[in-house]
A = this chain, B = another copy of it.
């Protein structure tokens, strides 16, 4: 693969660019982005080699679409329109059903692989791009059977070179489960941050009282609203379901406290301690 195009030169696209360049020093990384300042920054930082436009996509061997999921719905069909028959295109969005539906009948559907790398940080933009972001991370691939076998192979070789492990799912199941293990965490962090800021807005010194526990729990509240708003919009039904269950669990915990039933409060926590084993499984 010689000509690699990254549409969206932020954290996700930029981190792919850095590692692909390292794996294939002879390739050229082209950046496509409607934010001109990001393209300039990406060149300065060595994340991409050159700026490019949709007209250049015909020479692409690989196109990575790493933009907010609402933009992907309009941009991905245009990318598929512009590429040659031999190019492989994958996205990196945190929702999969709407995107798969959108390109279901596109004449170049078999050039597209629906991908969700479970990797990232709370930072965004080209300066957030880092080497090794994808090493040992899970990569979820949806509707793999809809992608041409030879192009699947190319993409899977790349993911293997990056050190990723692959999981196959259908888009509906992906969106349902990712609402629990990713989207809900973001809302719980944002609302924790909001609750504390509202309460303490006139007492800045109070944040001296906050330790690493608060910092860890609220970390995702630094995330980009431009990225997360369309994710919540596309995954609205599933996310609302997780919120209902989360709110219900919080209310139950509160009612146990109100009743002075601290044996039950203890049990709630002890049962959930089991998360240790699960998290050990992640690492």
Contact = CB atoms under 8 A, between A and B. Distances in A.
A266 B229 CA distance: 6
A228 interface: yes
Interface in A233-279: 233, 236, 239-240, 242-247, 249-251, 253-254, 257-258, 260, 262, 265-276, 278-279
Interface in A197-255: 197-200, 203-223, 225-226, 228-230, 232-233, 236, 239-240, 242-247, 249-251, 253-254
A198 B195 CA distance: 25
Interface residues of A, number: 96
Contact of A225 (B178, B269, B276): B269
Interface stretch (A13-21, A58-66, A183-191): A183-191
B185 A119 contact: no
Given A185-B192, A228-B269, A262-B229, A219 B218 contact: no
Contact of A199 (B190, B211, B245, B283): B245
Q: How many copies does the complex hold?
A: 2
A97 B217 CA distance: 26
A282 B207 contact: yes
Interface of A: 118-122, 137-138, 140, 165, 167, 174, 177-178, 180-182, 184-200, 203-223, 225-226, 228-230, 232-233, 236, 239-240, 242-247, 249-251, 253-254, 257-258, 260, 262, 265-276, 278-279, 281-283
A176 to B, nearest CB: 9
A135 to B, nearest CB: 12
